[in-house]
Amino acid sequence: MSGTAPNPVIVLVRPQLGENIGKAARAMLNFGLTEMRLVTPRDGWPNPSAGPAASGADVVLEQARVFGSVADAVADCEHVYATTVRKRGVTKPVVTPVQAAGEIHAAPGRSAILFGPERSGLETEDVALARAILTVPINPEFGSLNLAQAVILVAYEWSKGRELAQPPRVDLDPPAPQAELEGLIGHLETLLEDSGYFYPPDRVPTTKLTLRNLLTKPGWTEQELRTLRGVLSALEGKKRARAGQT
């Protein structure tokens, strides 16, 4: 996917709650989408409940445009997808979010993705304006997605065709040399021998092997080994102090 096509427009058709509009805006901006269009929102627009729910996605809300009909909202878009289950009596191609994302990136012209009201979803008349039906594969026994979840699923799949910034990588410290690990194991074995841990004698080799396997599983860094050696030394010092008091 080239990622050269215009970013798709997210169209919320008759959204009911300002909080859900805000959450949808947050989902959009997470994946680089900023153009939201609202079709006759139930509680009007702007809605004071949208801002807090957007958690900082204010640019999406500030630029949101309101339309009186779905036809007006998608009038400048060549490709329209209706997110819904297959509607009876409506014969249209059915695509998944992955397939829709590929088409949006590859096709010239603008694309719009319609999302219906929270309770009822898109009406048949709304779907009739779309070129294709976009359906999320979901558990047939519990197909309950809220508005923001539906938006984020579609936006995420679209975003995979773009070069979005990745979280900063934190380089891990390299593993410690084997000699330092052997020093830790030897230190621990000495303390355990002094404390009488290794008993009975015939089990000592097996117990030491188990401890060695346990300690060699993680890729300890030098700092981690120094910390563990410090712990053992502190325990060793307390033991000596107690012995001196008796």
CATH class of segment(s) 9-160 = alpha beta
| Averaged pLDDT score across all residues of the chain | 88
pLDDT, residue 94, reads: 92
**Residue pLDDT, tens place only, 7-51:** 999 999 999 999 999 999 999 999 999 999 999 999 999 999 999
2: pLDDT strictly greater than 50: no
pLDDT, residue 197, reads: 84
Backbone angles phi, psi at 175, to 5 degrees: -60, 150
Nearest to 59 by CA among 47, 48, 51: 51
**Residue pLDDT, tens place only, 97-121:** 999 999 999 988 999 999 999 888 8
The larger pLDDT score, comparing residue 135 to residue 175, is at 135
Distance CA 44, CA 20 (A): 13
Nearest to 97 by CA among 55, 169, 167, 156: 156
Q: What is the pTM of this model?
A: 0.68
**Residue pLDDT, tens place only, 124-140:** 999 999 999 999 888 87
- Taking residues 61-85, report their average pLDDT: 95
Domain boundaries, the chain: 9-160, 178-244
96: pLDDT strictly greater than 90: yes
222: pLDDT strictly greater than 50: yes
pLDDT, residue 163, reads: 62
Nearest to 180 by CA among 111, 227, 113: 227
Q: What is the dihedral of CA 199, 200, 204, 210, to 10 degrees?
A: -70
pLDDT, residue 198, reads: 85
